[in-house]
């Protein structure tokens, strides 16, 4: 997965890990899913992840994420996951969208107990 997509995926994985909903498991829960406005408000976090992965910053792409670009990134990440882990893994691992436009929210459905982020 290229750094820009990995940065966005890591952002969503981090949000899932930070969620503190009290439940036995969080698979299928969508409390930590974010709409575009919340994702846009966290642009500095996404850009920081991208820089730590070796990306160069600028005023475009992952460093200035627009709504249509977000949808494109989510789709390309889904394709990357399918190529790497197979089509059946996409259901668990991919960033998913819920809700109708314009109220679409994005997140990872995987239980947070199964997510490990390794940062340097």
| pLDDT at residue 24, rounded to an integer | 66
**Is pLDDT above 70 for 80?**
yes
Quick check: pTM over 0.85?
Answer: yes
Specify the DSSP class assigned to residue 104.
-
SS3 readout for 7-52:
HHHHHHHHHHHHCCCCCCCCCCCCCCCEEHHHHHHCHHHHHHHHHH
Mean pLDDT within 24-46: 88
Average pLDDT along the chain: 90
What Å distances lie between residue 37 and 17, 26, 41, 50, CA to CA?
Answer: 20, 23, 6, 19
Per-domain residue ranges of the chain: 3-114
Which pLDDT belongs to residue 83? 96
Q: Quote the CA–CA distance of 91 and 108 in Å, as a whole number.
A: 10
Confidence of residue 113 (pLDDT cuts 50, 70, 90): confident
Residues 40-57: pLDDT tens digits?
A: 999 999 999 999 998 887
């Amino acid at each position: 997965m290229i750094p820009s997509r990995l940065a966005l995926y890591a952002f969503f994985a981090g949000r899932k890990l930070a969620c503190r909903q009290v439940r036995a498991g969080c698979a299928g829960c969508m409390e930590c899913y974010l709409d575009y406005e919340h994702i846009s408000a966290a642009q500095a976090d996404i850009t920081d992840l991208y820089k730590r992965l070796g990306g160069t910053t600028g005023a475009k792409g992952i460093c200035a994420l627009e709504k249509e670009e977000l949808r494109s990134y989510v789709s390309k990440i889904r394709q990357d996951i399918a190529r790497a882990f197979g089509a059946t893994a996409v259901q668990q691992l991919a960033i998913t969208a819920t809700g109708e436009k314009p109220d679409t929210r994005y997140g990872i459905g995987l239980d947070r107990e199964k997510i490990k982020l390794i940062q340097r």
